């Protein structure tokens, strides 16, 4: 199942239909990237969309990491309906000096063929979230 915006764009284009099922995980990951890079207050109609400013996190603020992991899980559960059973764990990563990495896994709820989706969300020093498969 494609996101609403992808379905609208496809209907406007030549194909007129949703993207092929193989693109479902990519569609979900694109939406997850948008959700995790949104900041609180960015959306006037949904004030609960977005995370707090992640640029304020530093290695000294490691006690905040579990709270950020909970916030990430809640955002994904609330704003990505194609994911179920979302788990977010802080994960060690030597390549993100000054940043944090969260290991995320969830069941991809497609109705016809559920599957497991796993990826890392890497929070850089700039507060931006990058996803790694």
Cα 56 to Cα 70: distance, rounded to the nearest angstrom: 17
User: What are the structural domains of the chain?
Assistant: 4-132 (3.10.450.40)
User: Looking at the predicted structure, is the pLDDT value of residue 61 above 70?
Assistant: no
The three-class DSSP label of residue 116 is strand
Proportion of the chain above pLDDT 70, given as a percent: 69
pTM: 0.76
pLDDT tier at 47 (50, 70, 90 boundaries)?
A: confident
């Amino acid at each position: 199942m494609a996101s609403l915006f992808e379905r609208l764009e496809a209907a406007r284009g030549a194909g007129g239909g949703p993207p092929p099922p193989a693109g479902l995980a990519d569609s979900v990951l694109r939406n997850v990237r948008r959700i995790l890079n949104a900041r609180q207050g960015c959306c006037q109609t949904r004030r609960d969309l977005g995370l707090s400013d992640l640029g304020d996190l530093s290695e000294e603020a490691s006690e905040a990491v579990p709270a950020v992991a909970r916030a990430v899980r809640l955002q994904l559960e609330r704003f990505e309906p194609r994911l179920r059973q979302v788990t977010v764990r802080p994960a060690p990563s030597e390549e993100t000096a000054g940043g944090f990495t969260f290991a995320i896994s969830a069941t991809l709820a497609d109705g016809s063929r559920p599957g497991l989706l796993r990826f890392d969300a890497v929070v850089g020093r700039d507060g931006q979230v990058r996803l790694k498969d």
